Structure 1
Amino acid sequence: MGRPLLPLISVEAITTAALDLVDESGDFSLPKLARRIGVSQSSIYNHVSGREEILELLRHRIIAEEPHAPVDHGQWEEALRVLIRAYRDAFARHPRLAPLLVLQSIKDPDVIGMYEDLARALEAAGFGGRDVVSAISTIDSFALGAALDLAAPDVVWDPPADGYPALKRALSDAGPAQERGRHAFDFGLDVIIGGLRDRLRTKQGHLA
């Protein structure tokens, strides 16, 4: 019997199988990964060092799936909008991956490059020091939350029949689930950009 034209296992095959398992169940294990690919668990270690490396490969995969256009750091508001939307969209495609990736340090060069773009845009706006990292952390939290919101059930809030009038009035105007999610993201993005702009104005006023 001739040898197969393509090997059963490769870094690409490991990444694809791991992402499939995460999309299906919210996690993966090396034994399950080996069974999914059809190889022995020990053969996986010939291609990757272990779970941590696989998670970084997954991080790289979801960011690389739909790369965003290059940004002009000097146009900081538009740059932030492009980068935040790209990050949100990456996790929205694979929402079950988010809880796994937030538990370990970000090392993938392409993903680090997105954070470099964020830092450069914030510096171009006039932020410096710890404000840059604080802004990035705030953006991170918002983008991840927005991605999970897109994966939420159609009915997120289901108050009892009696009471909660203010919430019920708000929900009556929320629209369909996808429309609500898009509006909430655009609303939150405007709030973040506006808040950063106001903070810069306050800072500049204090320096005047």
Structure 2
Amino acid sequence: MKGKIDRKQIIDGAIVLLEEIGIQDLSMRKLAEQLNVRASSLYWHVKNRSELLELLADRIIQDISIPEAGYPWDVQLQMIATDYRKVLLAYRDSTEILSLTPPATTNRVRLIESIYRIFANAHVSHKLIPSCASLYNNYVLSFVKDEIRLSQTNVNGMKENEEEKNIYFQSKLEEDFPFFIELNKYFHMRDSDEEFQFGLNILLEGFRNKVGKDL
């Protein structure tokens, strides 16, 4: 890719490199090598790594679909959250990138504006809308972050000694922690899709209790 390069090519290249090496090793130098250009060519379009991460975050958020206003407000929020989770799972280190960058780029502001508007149209008190939106966003980000962590734990073989640990727990802790022993089996039977919707439904029910109330 010798010669001219534009910002879109830089972001597309960064997405590919992110998938290969992860956020910790992502650098302007490695991106320049990936794109086969001089680092100075990148700095003409992106001033530093921090701005690159902001652009990556904005690119990730771009893939989230905003439902039509004809749906009920709570259904709209459910649809956005479901798509939000799907998008986050599609990009390596997505939750970390979003956590490290301010929501001040076009697509991120557009998402926030859409969520604010949904709450406003549901007659949630304006002073509560930012708090509701923050809870909503944090739920999705936190769930996906934990979901990824657990999947990586399983891939890395951290559960190989699970049977031995269960024997230890049952022999050493059953008397003092009966619920921990009894319910531990259900922890490993959880379905991520069902659990995500379960938590989301509880959150939406809480929001429904605030509709039309100035608290």
1:14 deviates by 1.4
> Is the contact between residue 83 and residue 114 of structure 1 (CA under 8 Å) also seen in structure 2?
no
> Is the contact between residue 88 and residue 147 of structure 1 (CA under 8 Å) also seen in structure 2?
yes
SS at match of 1:127: coil
Structure 2 match to 1:153: 150
1:131 deviates by 0.9
1:74 deviates by 6.7
1:64 deviates by 2.7
1:107 deviates by 2.0
Give the residue type in structure 1 aligned to 2:41.
Answer: S
Structure 2 match to 1:128: 125
Quote the Cα distance in structure 2 between the aligned partners of 1:71 and 1:139.
Answer: 19
> Is the contact between residue 60 and residue 110 of structure 1 (CA under 8 Å) also seen in structure 2?
yes
Of 80, 103, 108, the match for 2:105: 108
- 1:48-197 residue pairs with structure 2 within 5 A? 48-65=46-63, 67-72=64-69, 75-154=72-151, 155=154, 161-162=168-169, 163=173, 164-174=177-187, 180-197=191-208
Quote the Cα distance in structure 1 between the aligned partners of 2:55 and 2:83.
Answer: 18
> Is the contact between residue 22 and residue 97 of structure 1 (CA under 8 Å) also seen in structure 2?
no
> Is the contact between residue 149 and residue 181 of structure 1 (CA under 8 Å) also seen in structure 2?
no
1:8 deviates by 6.5
Question: After alignment, is 130-139 or 14-23 more displaced?
Answer: 14-23
> Is the contact between residue 92 and residue 148 of structure 1 (CA under 8 Å) also seen in structure 2?
no
- 1:6-25 residue pairs with structure 2 within 5 A? 7=3, 9-23=5-19, 24-25=21-22
SS at match of 1:107: coil
Q: From the superposition, tell whether residues 153 and 112 of structure 1 become closer, same or farther in structure 2 (CA, over 3 Å).
A: same
What is the TM-score with the length of structure 2 in the denominator?
0.77
1:50 deviates by 2.4
Give the residue type in structure 1 aligned to 2:14.
Answer: A
Gaps in structure 1 of 5+ consecutive residues:
none
Quote the Cα distance in structure 2 between the aligned partners of 1:175 and 1:144.
Answer: 21
Gaps in structure 2 of 5+ consecutive residues:
none
Quote the Cα distance in structure 1 between the aligned partners of 2:17 and 2:149.
Answer: 20
Give the residue type in structure 1 aligned to 2:86.
Answer: D
Quote the Cα distance in structure 1 between the aligned partners of 2:35 and 2:200.
Answer: 40
What is the TM-score with the length of structure 1 in the denominator?
0.79
Residues matched between the structures, number: 197
